Amino acid sequence: MQYAHPLPDTLLERYKSWRDNGFSENEPLLRTLADDGQSPQAMVISCCDSRVHVTSLFEAAQGTFFVHRNIANFVPPNTADGDQTGTAAALEYAITVLKVPHLIIVGHSACGGVRGCYDLCSGNAPGLEDSFVGKWVKHLRPAFDRLPEGGETDRVTAMEKEAVLLSLENLMGYGFVAAAVNAGTLQLHALWNDIGAGTVEAFDAERGAFAAL
Ligand SMILES: [Zn+2]
């Protein structure tokens, strides 16, 4: 395969450092996980964005989170174009096979995917609709339609949070999710991470709003 290149030196050095230090510190845990399999505490859906680091946020070790990442940390509706099965497959495995007790969706500040949909819905992103990104983020439109009036910066931030809630709604359209939630074996959680401030907000259902943890 002529397309496969050696890793850049910077990554190779970091791997060697992890192998010599990080791995040896965690070797007993990793051996147990390798022998006994995984039993994660939660499934986490977060954005592909390199600045969102859910394992660091929660000081999670290997085996703690079953993580799925996609553009804009979005769960598409069960009725979305039939070929969007990547997220659904991850959900199905985590809930029906691993039986995770918690499902956490982590939105974040300055999300390019949410911004793309905002621009798309505002008519400011000609051509985006024909791209793979556009075909994916267009499913966030219901979050745009719920935004209050206001300045653009506030509306985009509000949409990042509204999109997380839309994902929770969409989750309940998957029979195996609804069944687990209704049986009390699965709890859903909606979070939003302000990258620059290092803070996390959680949606409080009683107050109907996100609040800082
Ligand atoms: Zn993002």
Distance 48 CA to ligand 1 centre (A): 6
Report which of 115, 98, 122, 112 is spatially closest to residue 185, judged by C-alpha positions.
Answer: 98
Let me know whether 70 and 14 are in one domain: no
Let me know whether 138 and 56 are in one domain: yes
Could you give the CA distance from residue 213 to residue 204 in angstroms, rounded to a whole number? 10
Give the position of tokens 């300055």: 110
Let me know whether 33 and 46 are in one domain: no
Query: Using an 8 Å Cβ cutoff, are 98 and 76 in contact?
Result: no
Let me know whether 4 and 107 are in one domain: no
Chain centroid to CA 211: how far?
Answer: 19
Distance 51 CA to ligand 1 centre (A): 9
Distance 202 CA to ligand 1 centre (A): 17
Distance 137 CA to ligand 1 centre (A): 11
Chain centroid to CA 61: how far?
Answer: 18
- Compute the mean pLDDT over every residue in the chain, rounded to the nearest whole number: 95
Could you give the CA distance from residue 180 to residue 60 in angstroms, rounded to a whole number? 24
Let me know whether 150 and 47 are in one domain: yes
Q: What average pLDDT does range 63-82 have in this prediction?
A: 90
Distance 160 CA to ligand 1 centre (A): 9
Which amino acid appears at position 117 of this protein? C
Let me know whether 60 and 151 are in one domain: yes
Let me know whether 4 and 75 are in one domain: no
Q: Three-state SS for 12?
A: helix
Distance 174 CA to ligand 1 centre (A): 23
Could you give the CA distance from residue 86 to residue 189 in angstroms, rounded to a whole number? 21
**What pLDDT, on the 0 to 100 scale, is given for residue 111?**
98
Residue 82 has pLDDT above 80, yes or no: no
Distance 47 CA to ligand 1 centre (A): 5
- How far apart, in Å, are the Cα atoms of 85 and each of 67, 81, 89, 164? 16, 9, 6, 19
Report which of 16, 85, 54, 62 is spatially closest to residue 200, judged by C-alpha positions.
Answer: 54
**What pLDDT, on the 0 to 100 scale, is given for residue 85?**
83
Distance 50 CA to ligand 1 centre (A): 9
**What pLDDT, on the 0 to 100 scale, is given for residue 126?**
86
Let me know whether 146 and 49 are in one domain: yes
Residue pLDDT, tens place only, 83-115:
668 999 999 999 999 999 999 999 999 999 999
* Residue 209's pLDDT band (cuts 50, 70, 90): very high
pTM above 0.85, yes or no: yes
Distance 192 CA to ligand 1 centre (A): 11
Residue pLDDT, tens place only, 112-144:
999 999 999 999 988 898 999 999 999 999 999
Distance 113 CA to ligand 1 centre (A): 5
Count of structural domains, the chain: 2
Q: What are the residues whose beta carbons fall under 8 Å from the beta carbon of 193, sequence distance 6 or more?
A: 52, 57, 106, 107, 108, 109, 199, 200, 201
Let me know whether 57 and 79 are in one domain: yes
Let me know whether 93 and 21 are in one domain: no
Q: What average pLDDT does range 147-173 have in this prediction?
A: 97
Residue 78 domain boundaries? 38-212
Let me know whether 46 and 95 are in one domain: yes
Residue pLDDT, tens place only, 45-69:
999 999 999 999 999 999 999 999 9
